Structure 1
Amino acid sequence: MPKRQADEDETIASPSTALKNGQRVTAAAEGENRDEEMGEFEDPYGDDFESEDEEEDEIIELNDDDEDQEEEEAAEESESLEKKSQPKKETPRLYLPHRSAPLGPDEVLEPDPTVYDMLHRINLNWPCLSFDILPDNLGNERRGYPKSTYFVTGTQAKRKKENEITVVKLSELSKTLENEEDSEAESDNDDSDPVLESRSLPTTDTTNRIRVSPHAAKTNEYLTASMSESGDIYIWDITPHFSAFDTPGTVITKAMNRPVHTIRAHGGVEGYAVDWSPHVTTGQLLTGDVTGRIHLTTRGTSSWTTDKVPFVGHDSGASVEELQWSQSEKSVFASGGSDGFIRVWDIRSKKHKPALSVRASNSDVNVMSWSKNVSYLLASGHDDGSWSIWDLRTFNANASDEPPLPAASFSFNKSAITSIEFHPTEESIVAVSSEDNTVMLWDLSVEADDEEIAAQKRDDAAGELDDIPPQLLFVHWQKDVKEVHWHGQIPGMIMSTGGEGISVWKSISV
């Protein structure tokens, strides 16, 4: 279950300090700068050796070449003295999240810009536990720069009355600069800095989870559901807020800042699980709470209706941590709970009981992702730091049968998994975030052969990389990362939220 934290920041858009696989740690050197001083040496007997019959001083004339040479020598000497006075830098070393010791007080993490195609960090007024990317009509497969994106998020403010739902547009997102010459050229262009525009809707509570309807761009109705700390689920229509970014003069009234519907079926019990149906364009969503109840809400011709009878099937007292609709079956969804089970349900069942169940972990199932490309693949991330890929065809209804094994499983992270998501078009690539402050990109199709393993050992004489799985493509460092999403219309682009803002980035590996 996500942990909360709050920290006030100004609203800015600036380059990020996120990191990649192969990040370097630099220690700040200690000591004072000392300038070397040179004094004059006087010879008290110098006059005794002067010529007595010398009538006038000798004048030496310097030509232009001699003057230039003296100036160059003076400059070189000054530069040498300056270098000596500067503190020595420690040699950067590889930072491995699963093995490296915590950073010291004088240590900082520096990103390697050469492994990012794009890297930006956005600081909002308050930290956000959850966000969702808004689909737009700017086109798919957008590979050029600068880039633009829209997203919606809910805050975790220090005081309840300061919370808000924030709709954001980011534009002028540029390619990462890799050297000083590029940086100097970019600084001469005032239009190169990222531009942040936002619209806010007031809300009284922290937002635990927020999701936008996947049909928003097609229907031009941006319905958004936010699960609040109070246990109420608010449904917002943020269409005018989204449109206002690109339609000058749009007026947003007070009524537009209020929820169009509030789901109170959970009776004030807090929850974290919500998902919109990818099949019902008018609006249908599932919500789950920490007591194990799951409610289905459907939009009718004139109003929203929530089923009075909840779906109940996780162990008594177990929280429903995640809900995911099937991408191929209109009536099927999966739930993950703090009892360690994945349950598969059919909303047509009058019993409101799970049809299939499998123990996925001995700890909580925190998050899940149903593949959009392979309908029978489901990913789950767990509280013990492990995550798995499941082939739902191996699930069975008979509890006495041998439980199925995951199609793939990794225990590389040593802290709880906070988010997991399949790539929108590449069926083998998965993004996974963890409480160890990392977002990792994995490619399950990679299998290292004996020659590749031998070559890696030769290149890695110190053995630093011998326990890193070959499927691990990339590591992005972000403090207190909570949630990660692929951008469905910009290939390879990822957004991730954490305690110090939202990162917008693209690795050269994907």
Structure 2
Amino acid sequence: MTTTFKTVNRHGYAVKFSPNRSDILAIATTQYYGFKGGGTLFLVTYDADKCLMTKNTEIFWEDGLFDVVWSRTAESLLVTGSGDGSLQMWNYKYPQKPVRTYDEHKKEVCSVDWCQNSIDDFLLSASWDCSVKLWDPNKYCSLTTYKGHDRLVYEVKWSPFLSSCFASVSGDGTLGIWDCSSPLRPRAKINAHQAEVLSCSWNRFQPFVLATGGSEGLIRIWDIRKSLTPIFQLEGCQDAVKRVQCSPHHWSKLASVSYDFTTKIWDYSASSEPCQSHQNHSDYVYGLDISPRQDGLMADCGWDAEARVFRAG
């Protein structure tokens, strides 16, 4: 079962299932492959049983949108990261203008993440200006700026276990592990790949384990208590691994998307090779998400102006 939504004249960069509603998907896109032009955030209603995806809302921004994250506490709120260096908070029920914008980064914002626990309410943003910023979503100024990478920061992710801990990955080949109270340098800095590190994802079952994806096509699994060598290495992508995501349902499973046009599913406790490979796209695949519900659904999107929801075998 594969369901397709065409993001006509818009190239997909990120796709996210709503954590609050089982039938809504957000897709962050750009014009002209993100090199110029505006961005569109599509809110899509999907019916997995009928294999149908329908546009619910279309939100426009004057620059490309490179990432999107949902609020876990307010059903209709999302935050996007843009090529003009800003973040935008949207209420998709009132899409005419953002609820709030955050303007401090000097270059593209390529990753945003909202904290995952029910007590704290903070945002992280990662930028091509080599910094990570911490935001209170109710304030217009950032709380802290973290500078520990020598090149652009591709992705930032909160730890699902430790509320003050997050990870960042960079074009300098490193994985940084941060404590929010220490902005000057990461608590640990791991030479994760001999290439740009494009993506990271925390394991939802093991608090010290996370995965990284590199531009050389490798996925590595790290225990941050033993940071000299990865505990697993996964091979099988023929090009850069744009996103990697650990399963919310199984401790050793993860998914990846790559510039080789594929979406792959892995179980690193069983093999270093993928257990499934899907070629849903005819161009680079940039966006990836695994449904938080036990329904077997995944979503991806790519530069071929298509987003897909499919059921993993």
Asked whether the two chains share a fold, i.e. TM above 0.5, the reply is yes
- 1:273 equivalent to 2:111? Answer yes
Q: How does 1:27-426 map to 2 (within 5 A)?
A: 118-125=1-8, 126-137=10-21, 149-158=23-32, 163-171=39-47, 173-174=48-49, 192=50, 194-213=52-71, 215=72, 219-238=73-92, 240=93, 252=94, 256-267=95-106, 269-279=107-117, 283-300=121-138, 303-307=139-143, 309-315=144-150, 318-349=151-182, 351-395=183-227, 404-426=228-250
* Structure 2 counterpart of 1:443, from 236, 242, 267: 267
Q: Which amino acid aligns with 1:312?
A: K
**CA distance 1:439–1:341, shift in 2 (3 Å):** same
Q: Give yes or no for contact 2:30–2:37 (8 Å, CA) kept in 1.
A: no
SS of the equivalent of 1:257 reads: coil
1:445 offset after TM fit, Å? 1.8
Q: Identity of counterpart residues, as a percentage? A: 22
Q: Give yes or no for contact 1:130–1:482 (8 Å, CA) kept in 2.
A: yes
**CA distance 1:299–1:207, shift in 2 (3 Å):** closer
Deviations 1:239-272 (A, max 9, x none): x2xxxxxxxxxxx5xxx521111111113x1131
Q: CA RMSD in A?
A: 2.1
1:334 offset after TM fit, Å? 0.9
Q: Give yes or no for contact 2:5–2:53 (8 Å, CA) kept in 1.
A: no
Q: Give yes or no for contact 1:135–1:150 (8 Å, CA) kept in 2.
A: no
**CA distance 1:195–1:347, shift in 2 (3 Å):** closer
Distance 1:296 1:385 in 2: 30
Distance 1:135 1:377 in 2: 23
Quick check: which one's strand share is greater?
A: 2
1:153 offset after TM fit, Å? 1.8
Q: Give yes or no for contact 2:4–2:53 (8 Å, CA) kept in 1.
A: no
**CA distance 1:280–1:310, shift in 2 (3 Å):** farther
- Structure 1 residue ranges (4+ consecutive) displaced by more than 4 angstroms after TM superposition: 158-162
Q: Which amino acid aligns with 1:156?
A: T
Number of matched residues? 307
Q: Which amino acid aligns with 2:132?
A: I
Distance 1:375 1:271 in 2: 27
- TM-score (structure 2 length as normaliser): 0.91
Distance 1:492 1:313 in 2: 38
Point out where structure 2 has 5 or more consecutive residues left out of the alignment. Answer: none
SS of the equivalent of 1:151 reads: strand
**CA distance 1:499–1:295, shift in 2 (3 Å):** same
Deviations 1:303-360 (A, max 9, x none): 44412x5211112xx01111011111111111101010111111112x5311111100
Deviations 1:355-376 (A, max 9, x none): 1111001100100101112111
Give the number of the structure whose alpha-carbon radius of gyration is greater: 1
SS of the equivalent of 2:67 reads: strand
Point out where structure 1 has 5 or more consecutive residues left out of the alignment. Answer: 1-117, 139-148, 175-191, 241-251, 396-403, 448-468
1:232 offset after TM fit, Å? 1.1
Q: Give yes or no for contact 2:246–2:255 (8 Å, CA) kept in 1.
A: yes
Quick check: which one's helix share is greater?
A: 1
Distance 2:245 2:19 in 1: 17
Distance 2:232 2:214 in 1: 14
Distance 1:355 1:384 in 2: 26
Distance 2:117 2:59 in 1: 28
Q: Give yes or no for contact 1:299–1:305 (8 Å, CA) kept in 2.
A: no
1:292 offset after TM fit, Å? 1.1
